[in-house]
Structure 1
């Protein structure tokens, strides 16, 4: 952290603004966490395991599919912050309307279910349009020699902020006078408020200018035609993308950890908040370690370590004999969820030429596309073969990802 404290004032301002953005985002987003709270909400509205998986997959599809187009749209722009703020506003402000709909008409469960699906897809889709410009700003605004500690600090501070979410979730779900689904409507309101505050923090960023590009006016087709050459000529890009693809495919069981624990041990709904707390604490405690490791051993070595550890949660879920043991499983999920995102983002920024950075970022995000199918596939596996089969499938795919990470060149 001392390196961040001694950075120029403009760098420190941007670091504070970006970390504040993510902290408010995580506080709000965790109130309807997609691995704990959201599946339970959908199940109580009448959604089957297959539908829960399909909805999770659709959310990921609209998040990752636009990435190449977004990279084209911001290529050659002197500044990308206006594009970023506009995308955020389109998806986040309507969440307040979703709160009103669920509060007033949520007793019609089918209406509430599809209203939630529609508005959450709009939010996630707009978030998909914000990923590339947001990461591009980090690439321009945060020097590479402190980027690991920056990501580690972001993970810790944002996770500490998100610790408020389990308290809010537990309190609201245990208010007897607040019946279903109005209790979840209130969680949606808290989510919308956090997302709004996050967007306001983005306005504080002082974005550095992008140097003029050689071909700022290239068409989308020309942009796509450049991608095969980048794949062939850059082995670091090629193996980072392959590893990302496999890790995304390892999300078969991602929506079912909390449902499995509740059904296996007959747990009350309050355990959702306990597991969410453990998940958040896992991210808090590992942030400084990951940030230090990334700056000490390099972004690629850090990525290799984190990917190798990602096989632990599905195997631990299979053998865990007691309900409280799942606290450790969710702590590991929280640590790895953040650390994998940090590791892949830091790795792609470390190998990307500045002129092609939006394209590299977009390709890395696009490789998450298998995640659009894995929750649905997971739902099918759970319905036909049980939870254990989903966890075993996840462990096998992640193991292939760990082998792929070993092929990423250390020097670029």
Structure 2
């Protein structure tokens, strides 16, 4: 009779044999159920921690409550995203030098938890510009630490969990995380933030730091076999060699171009919020209800996207990007035409929920695609090159917001929707790597 863990693994993945392995070392097969759930739990915990300390939503709200200058608030998202992505090309060389990469993730996770604990201290003790600068400094540390986790996590996943089971893992983790975030959002929605003051943010940040501590314990339980160490030399020299992959690997180059276009989906949410505020007079301002919409969207969509991603991750990217383009055009038309009900918060809440569903598909699809297209020998390099290029592209894409002074939120959303259609077209014609 199978152990309970093997039976649970069979249930979650649909396997009849928990030791069926593809594209992982033979020695890792017998540990696959254990590794699957250890990785899943760690991923779930850090996803929840990320959502309840979101640089797109929670941290800006916190800095506003602490009286930090608006100019400092504007740096939150660029630092959070680019700080994770840009250093990864050099980090990958160091990762390649280690036969086991689990320790790199553990280091990044520990630094992430400490940075969030520091932000909690700031929220409880500082105000104004001092609080803003302190949070930005800690966010730099947090973002760099998350970059370590990002490179190491995909490499460990590729070594410990079989191909065609990774989408199920990511989808299940994201779905459970969405439910957890939904519960947090409901609690916040019932909280009088004005009366509670900074204590709410101290609790959120300390809670997130605790989740990172639990994630460390879970990830440490992964049994990782030694891997290839070629390319683990001088970081700068190896980084330049890795960049050559964009020239020599046409399939990878096509994926990177597609991922750049997919940024149109990631950049869209603030413009939905601006339009919602303009039409409703601020009817979608409640922090808790925005968190609820995001959590609900992730919980209902990610398991579906995960299963589809195991069959065809390029199709997931194409469908999600195309859906985001359609949603954007519908929203633009509704705003221009001042359709009945546009001044109610509910259509906007529905739009945000749908956008979360579609963005989840984009994120999961491109993650599964990258892991599946790579091999054990080049996975860390492909992840690092892709993330570094996207980090630069994200900083450049931030200039799109400058056009908002002329064409407004409606015009920007229209532009991003058209780019989403282009991303869908590019994704549809990528080579198939799943299954």
> CA-to-partner distance for each residue in 1:291-312, whole Å, 9 max, x for gaps?
222223x233333222322324
Answer whether contact 1:77 1:216 (CA < 8 A) is retained.
no
- Cα RMSD for the two superposed structures: 2.7
Q: Does 1:80 align with 2:101?
A: yes
In structure 2, distance between residues paired with 1:240 and 1:367? 12
Q: Does 1:401 align with 2:423?
A: yes
Deviation, structure 1 residue 350:
1.4
Match of 1:198 in 2: 215
Cα distance, 1:387–1:151 mapped onto 2, change above 3 Å = same
Match of 1:15 in 2: 36
* Residue 273 (structure 2) aligned to one of 234, 258, 281: 258
Deviation, structure 1 residue 176:
5.5
Q: Does 1:282 align with 2:297?
A: yes
Match of 1:127 in 2: 146
Q: Does 1:71 align with 2:92?
A: yes
> CA-to-partner distance for each residue in 1:210-263, whole Å, 9 max, x for gaps?
1x44x3543334423433542233322111111111222554444343344234
Cα distance, 1:394–1:70 mapped onto 2, change above 3 Å = same
Cα distance, 1:250–1:2 mapped onto 2, change above 3 Å = closer
The count of corresponding residues between Structure 1 and Structure 2 is 404
In structure 1, distance between residues paired with 2:414 and 2:356? 20
* Unmatched runs of 5 consecutive residues or more in structure 2: 1-11, 20-29, 336-341
Match of 1:300 in 2: 314
In structure 2, distance between residues paired with 1:25 and 1:61? 19
Q: Does 1:110 align with 2:129?
A: yes
* Residue 159 (structure 2) aligned to one of 134, 137, 140: 140
Cα distance, 1:229–1:100 mapped onto 2, change above 3 Å = closer
In structure 1, distance between residues paired with 2:422 and 2:71? 26
Match of 2:238 in 1: 223
Cα distance, 1:289–1:89 mapped onto 2, change above 3 Å = same
In structure 1, distance between residues paired with 2:234 and 2:218? 32
Q: Does 1:344 align with 2:362?
A: no
Deviation, structure 1 residue 390:
2.5
Match of 1:89 in 2: 110
Greater CA deviation, 284-293 or 56-65? Answer: 284-293
In structure 2, distance between residues paired with 1:256 and 1:327? 13
Answer whether contact 2:42 2:214 (CA < 8 A) is retained.
yes
Match of 1:30 in 2: 51
Cα distance, 1:295–1:90 mapped onto 2, change above 3 Å = closer
Answer whether contact 1:155 1:284 (CA < 8 A) is retained.
yes
Match of 1:291 in 2: 306
* Residue 206 (structure 2) aligned to one of 178, 189, 192: 189
Greater CA deviation, 401-410 or 47-56? Answer: 47-56
Deviation, structure 1 residue 196:
2.5
* Residue 178 (structure 2) aligned to one of 156, 159, 170: 159
Match of 1:246 in 2: 261
In structure 2, distance between residues paired with 1:411 and 1:59? 30
Greater CA deviation, 253-262 or 318-327? Answer: 253-262
Deviation, structure 1 residue 359:
0.5
In structure 2, distance between residues paired with 1:308 and 1:195? 34
Higher relative contact order (CA 8 A, sep 6+): 1
Deviation, structure 1 residue 285:
1.2
> CA-to-partner distance for each residue in 1:348-382, whole Å, 9 max, x for gaps?
1111122111001112222321223434642x344
Answer whether contact 2:45 2:214 (CA < 8 A) is retained.
yes
Q: After superposition, where does 1:164-179 map in structure 2 within 5 Å?
A: 164-172=183-191, 174=192, 177-179=195-197
Could you say what secondary structure the match of 2:55 adopts?
coil
Q: Does 1:371 align with 2:394?
A: yes
Answer whether contact 1:244 1:344 (CA < 8 A) is retained.
yes
Greater CA deviation, 24-33 or 309-318? Answer: 309-318
Deviation, structure 1 residue 4:
5.0
In structure 2, distance between residues paired with 1:32 and 1:266? 26
Q: Does 1:333 align with 2:355?
A: yes
Could you say what secondary structure the match of 1:145 adopts?
coil
In structure 2, distance between residues paired with 1:235 and 1:116? 41
Cα distance, 1:350–1:330 mapped onto 2, change above 3 Å = same
Could you say what secondary structure the match of 2:430 adopts?
coil
Deviation, structure 1 residue 138:
0.7
* Unmatched runs of 5 consecutive residues or more in structure 1: none
Answer whether contact 1:22 1:154 (CA < 8 A) is retained.
yes
